[in-house]
Structure 1
C-alpha cells in the first residue's frame, strides 16, 4: 500500500515547495519521495512502491484533475453525459507520450534502489477510475456514477473498456521502465452490489490479468506478478482468487482465517491490518500484529503465500515511530514463527 505521504515530515518538506501533481510529474521528486520510507525504515520494508497517483490515467485521457488542499482530487469538468463518455471511449491514448514522466521516475528509482528491494508499479482499476471521472472527485453516496451506469449502461461499458485498454498499456510500459511487480487498486469496488460488480468491475479486472502478460511478452519483457486489491468487496474473494492475479489484497473487514480457507491456496493473500490500529500505541500495535500474523497462519506452510500489509494506506496523522514499531513487530513475530 501507500508508503510515502503526509505522515512523513520529510515528505511534507517536499510538499512545501511543490504541489502534488508537480511531484508526480517530476521524476527526481517522485524518486526522492519514493525513497524516503525506504531510507527511514531501512531493512524493514520488503518492497518499494513508486510515488504517483491513480488519477494520472484520467489526465492522460484528456480530463483535468486538480489536487485541492484539504479536499482531495477534483475534476472541474467531470463526465456527466453519454456523449462525453463516448467521446473518451473512442479516443486513442499514447501512454508513452502522456505518462512518460511516470516511466522516467520508475527507471530512476529502480537505479537509485540499487537492488535493495523490488519496485512496485500500479494503476487504478477501471471501475474506480470511472467513479472518479463521473463523480468529479471522492464521494460518500456515489450519486452521479450510479445514475450514469444505470441510465447509460452501454456507454459506461464502452468507457470502462477504453479505460482498461489504457491501463494495460500504462502498466506494460511501467514494466518496460523497471517495475518488478504491479498492483491494481479498485478502491471503490465495495460501492457496487455483488451483481453490479460482476458487470462493471470484475470483467475489466480479468481483462487486465489476461491481456497484460501477453502484452509484456510481445514487448519482450518479463511477465511480472500482479496484485488486485478490491476494497470492500469481501463477497468477491473467491472470484478474485480465480481472476488471474498472483496476489489478492485484503482490507481489514476480512477475517484472516476465513480468507485463507476461501482462497484455498490459489493465490497469495496480502493484508490486512486496519491502518487506524497505528493510532493505538505500541502495545496495541504489538497485539494486533501478533493476532493478525497468527490468524493468517504465517507459521504453517502457508506462510509462503502471505504478505503482511495494512488493509489500506497509511493516514496522515500516524506517528512515523509507530509505523516503525509496526514494521519491527512484523519482523520479530516472523522470526519467532516456525518454518
Structure 2
C-alpha cells in the first residue's frame, strides 16, 4: 500500500510526465545541504550517517530548501550508501572524502558475503517519508537511490575514485563476479526505492554518478541490463522516474532506454538540452542543466546562463522532448550563496 498523494497540478510532476506545467518547474540536486546555514547548524552535532538515521532530522533538512527557496520539489535527505549499511556493509561517510568501505568487495567470496537488504534497518527512512508527506502540502517529494554501477564502484574501490580502475578491471576481467555483484546491488536498489515509494514519495531518481567513466559499449554490456531491471521492477507503481549521471553525453540514449517507458533523463552542463533531446529521442522529459559553478559567478552571469538554459529547454521540447525540468547539471556547491538560489527560482518561475 502506498501513501502517495494525488498532486495533478504540481508543475514538477506535470513536466516529468509529458503534461504542460503552469510554469517551468525547478529544484536543485543537493538543495538540502551545506549551502544553507540552517543545515550547517543542524548538522554540527551529527555525523552524516547519524543524520540519515533520524526521521525528524531527515524531515527538517528535506524541508529547509522548500521553505527558503520555494522550489517545485523536495528531495529526500539521505545518501546513496544508506542501503549498503542496511545490507551489512561496514562503511562510514568521511567529511570531505565521501563513503569509505572498511572491507572492499573484490572477489566472488566477497560478493557472496553480502547480505540481502534489511528493511527494518531502514525504518527511519520510511518514517521520514511519512512525516514529509504530511508537511509538504502540494510540493512533490522525490525519493532516490544510487544506481548499481555507482554503488559497485564504491564497494570495489573502497571509496571515491577518479579512474575506477579496480571496478573496471573486475568488470572486464571477471564478468561472472561482476554480474553477480551487480545483480545483488540491483536487488538492493529496488528494495530501497520500493520502500520509499510505498512510504509515499511522489517520484524517484536513480543516480549513476560514475557511469560517465564508461564507454558506450561497456555501459550497454555490463551496466544497462541491471539499471533497466531497477526501472522495470518499479514501473508498476506509476511514479515518474529519472535517470541521471555525470559526464554521460555518449550514454544518454542508453540511459533513456533503461527507463523503458516515459520518464526523465538528467543532463549535466556539458551537453546542450537540444542535443540531449536528439540523443534520448522523443517521449522522455529532460532535467537540467545549469553548471553549478555559474552560481558562484555573480547574478548577471547567473541570469544570462539561466535564461539560456530555459531557451534551450524550450527548443528541446519543440524537438520532441516531453518536458523540461530546470535543475543544475550536478549538485549545489557548498560555497553557493543561498540567496542566489532563491533568486534563481523566482527567475525561472517568471520566464
Task: Judge same fold: TM > 0.5, yes or no.
Answer: yes
Match of 1:19 in 2: 47
- Alpha-carbon separation, structure 1, partners of 2:289 and 2:102: 35
Q: CA deviation at 1:111?
A: 0.9
Q: Which moved more, 1:119-128 or 1:322-331?
A: 322-331
Q: Is the 8 A contact 1:191 1:232 kept in 2?
A: yes
Q: Deviations over 1:270-316 (max 9, x none)?
A: 10111111011100000000111111226966686111111111011
Q: Deviations over 1:118-168 (max 9, x none)?
A: 101000000000001111111112122122223321011011011111211
Match of 2:105 in 1: 79
The 3-state SS of whatever aligns with 2:138 is coil
Q: CA deviation at 1:18?
A: 1.3
- Alpha-carbon separation, structure 2, partners of 1:332 and 1:189: 34
User: Which of 144, 155, 167 does residue 122 from structure 1 map onto?
Assistant: 144
Q: CA deviation at 1:46?
A: 0.7
Q: How many residues align?
A: 320
Q: How does 1:171-320 map to 2 (within 5 A)?
A: 171-214=193-236, 216=237, 223-243=238-258, 244=260, 246-297=263-314, 305-320=323-338
Structure 1: gaps (5+ residues): 217-222, 334-339
- Show structure 1 runs of 4+ deviating over 4 A: 298-304
Against the structure 1 CA distance between its residues 303 and 190, is the aligned structure 2 distance closer, same or farther, given a 3 Å change threshold? closer
The 3-state SS of whatever aligns with 1:296 is helix
Q: Which moved more, 1:274-283 or 1:243-252?
A: 243-252
Q: Is the 8 A contact 1:297 1:303 kept in 2?
A: no
- Alpha-carbon separation, structure 1, partners of 2:124 and 2:158: 24
- Alpha-carbon separation, structure 2, partners of 1:106 and 1:137: 28
- Alpha-carbon separation, structure 2, partners of 1:233 and 1:298: 21
Q: Is the 8 A contact 1:26 1:101 kept in 2?
A: yes
The 3-state SS of whatever aligns with 2:220 is helix
Q: Is the 8 A contact 1:184 1:229 kept in 2?
A: yes
What is the RMSD of the two structures over their aligned residues, measured on CA atoms?
1.7
- Alpha-carbon separation, structure 2, partners of 1:128 and 1:185: 8
Match of 2:121 in 1: 98
Structure 2: gaps (5+ residues): 1-28
Q: Which has the higher contact order (CA 8 A, sep 6+)?
A: 2
The 3-state SS of whatever aligns with 2:205 is strand
Q: CA deviation at 1:238?
A: 2.0
Matched, 1:154 2:182: no
Q: CA deviation at 1:264?
A: 3.5
